Amino acid sequence: MRSPPHVAALVVAAGRGLRAGGGIPKQYRLLAGRPLLSHAVGTFQHHDEVGTVLVVIGDGDDDLYREAVPDPAKMLPPVTGGAERQASVLAGLEALVEAAPDIVLVHDAARPFLSAALIGDAIAAVRNGVVAAVPGTPVVDTIKAVDAAGNVVATPDRAGLRAVQTPQAFVFPALLEAHRRAATTGVAGLTDDSSVMEWSGHAVTIFPGDAGNVKLTLPEDFDAAERRMWVAMNDVRVGQGYDVHAFTDGDHVWLGGVRIPHDRGVLAHSDGDVVLHAATDAILGALADGDIGTHFPPSDPQWRGASSDRFLAHAAGLLAARGGRLAMLDVTVVCEAPRVGPHREAMRERMAAILGVGTDRIAIKATTSEKMGFTGRREGLAALAVATVRLPGE
């Protein structure tokens, strides 16, 4: 084995998983504002010891996948899985043959609380001649074996039992060979990959799992996970933004992503939407990540006349990439005209859609400056924004 070994992560997301509700496969249901699948994939992408990540998806889920995994870093193209988990994993392993990893970590997309530490433990566990290692936790409930009528037939000693999780770690060629042989022999219905290795005659070792690495199956699992994610984002930050544009000849202005008829236009490089510009700067400020000019230099011709949606969406993407969420965006527009009130709800809805949050997290307020100053003289308009964001705690 190379040192350090080439580690590939194979994320299984091919199930239909409709028991969780929401009308779409559970791996695409939103958790903390992001598709469930993106949580584990992101953790693998950001792990220094993982070189390659591949997701096995369900037939027809390509569009959902593209939305869930926008960052191509370390990603191989997704592979369509089979009718059963076992067939899906084999499809994924075959797609990794060319990359020829030393170690493969097989992980279920439904476990979003995967930690970097557990990935490190899984990789470390397959050193020194071990070909298969799976995370397991002690069983705290007494387990009963029952017959078809529900009668207890045995009570195994729980001291000798472990509940196993993923990621399960394997020497890649050994797992590939075992899966191929199981498929050609017609052995099916093995519910995890360590079972395939056991069937194949390989020794499987257990390393300590993580009690927090739970699998989400039912709607109530999602509710509990949502609360847990939100509580874990306990690094609360506030950023502010301010923007001004001068009026010029024209017949409309853009405010909050909404086109508002007016007897003036604004002088701007882009569409001159002061609300979206101030909001973008507020989020960038909360992330201490420069300002709108750093990310979209006015000297760059590609932003000429650009719709400001993309500036705000970019800031939202940076926040999501840090594992964070927007808690509140509060904007004040300062102008004598146009009147903002009639467009307030449309602006809130548009901005909520761009940011992927509920409208209850977007406030739009307006004031005049009592005919004083540049806004009072109707020379231009201004917007102030305050963004409150939550990031995962250290």
Residues 236-260 as b/e (b if ≥16 CB within 10 A, e otherwise) read ebebebbbbbebeeeebbbbbbbeb
What would the two tokens of residue 338 be? 């146009």
Do the beta carbons of residue 274 and residue 383 sit within 8 Å?
A: yes
Do the beta carbons of residue 150 and residue 220 sit within 8 Å?
A: no
- Shortest Å distance, C-beta 271 to Mg ion: 9
Q: Smaller CB distance to Mg ion: residue 116 or 244?
A: 244
- Shortest Å distance, C-beta 113 to Mg ion: 40
Length of the chain: 394
Q: Smaller CB distance to Mg ion: residue 4 or 293?
A: 293
Q: Smaller CB distance to Mg ion: residue 112 or 241?
A: 241
Which stretches of the chain bind Mg ion, using CB under 5 A? 243, 277
Q: Smaller CB distance to Mg ion: residue 275 or 391?
A: 275
Question: DSSP letters of 32-74?
Answer: TTEEHHHHHHHHHHT-TT--EEEEEE-TT-HHHHHHH----TT
- Shortest Å distance, C-beta 242 to Mg ion: 10
Give dist(CA 189, CA 191) in Å, integer. 6
- Kindly report the number of other CB atoms within 10 A of residue 219's CB atom: 14
Q: Smaller CB distance to Mg ion: residue 121 or 243?
A: 243
What would the two tokens of residue 286 be? 């909360």
Give dist(CA 239, CA 309) in Å, integer. 19
Give dist(CA 194, CA 181) in Å, integer. 14
Q: Smaller CB distance to Mg ion: residue 277 or 343?
A: 277
- Shortest Å distance, C-beta 311 to Mg ion: 9
Nearest residue (beta carbon) to Mg ion: 277
Give dist(CA 143, CA 159) in Å, integer. 11
Q: Smaller CB distance to Mg ion: residue 179 or 277?
A: 277
- Shortest Å distance, C-beta 307 to Mg ion: 13
- Shortest Å distance, C-beta 274 to Mg ion: 6
- Shortest Å distance, C-beta 317 to Mg ion: 19
What would the two tokens of residue 322 be? 């840090």
